[in-house]
Amino acid sequence: MNFLEDVPVVRRIDTNRDDLFAVELVGHVRAPDVENLFGLFEAACAQHSRIDVLVRLVDHDGVDWADIAADTLKQGSAEAANHVGRCALIGESSWSNRMQGWLAAPSTVEIRHFPATGEADAWAWLDAHEKPADV
């Protein structure tokens, strides 16, 4: 086993806003990673009636959509429709298009895609910033 296989795919991003759920997705996203992501997302929704979301893709090389349980996707979509106001997707546009389709079905979520070079614009759109990591 390669030690890099143990690196978490889903990483929380600390921000200046309690009501902003921000994550970084690194590499290939498998079904267990999506389960982890949705668990974190549900916790954020439980803490706030309305939240904004920021998803940053890094070295993205695909999502195992076919391996993700239909109930998981349905429940995540319902949570998003009930709790998310704005969603900023940063990175590869083909993945963002799939996410936009999943999030937008019947909801009022305002979704914008930003290329990796436009990340500062995504943060500004959400009126937020990333907190520096404690070292």
Q: What is the C-alpha to C-alpha distance for residues 97 and 112, in angstroms, rounded to an integer?
A: 10
Q: What is the C-alpha to C-alpha distance for residues 60 and 85, in angstroms, rounded to an integer?
A: 25
Tell me the range of 6-10, 71-75, 110-114 where mean pLDDT is highest: 110-114
| pLDDT above 70 coverage of the chain, percent | 83
The model's pLDDT over 9-62, given as tens digits with 9 standing for 90+, comes to: 999 999 999 999 999 999 888 999 988 999 999 999 999 999 999 999 988 888
The full set of domain ranges for the chain reads 3-125
The model's pLDDT over 54-102, given as tens digits with 9 standing for 90+, comes to: 999 988 888 888 888 888 888 888 888 889 999 999 987 666 666 656 5
pLDDT at 117 exceeding the cut of 90: yes
**Pairing outcome for strands 84-90 and 51-58:** parallel
Q: How confident is the model at residue 1 (pLDDT cuts 50, 70, 90)?
A: very low
95 vs 117: which has the higher pLDDT:
117
Task: Report, as an integer, the average pLDDT of 111-131.
Answer: 95
**Strands of the 84-90 sheet, one edge to the other:** 10-12, 20-26, 51-58, 84-90, 110-114
pLDDT at 119 exceeding the cut of 90: yes
Q: What is the DSSP string of 55-102?
A: EEEES---B-GGGS-HHHHHHHHHHHHHHEEEEEEES-HHHHHHHHHH
Task: For domain 3-125, say whether CATH 3.30.70.100 is its number.
Answer: no
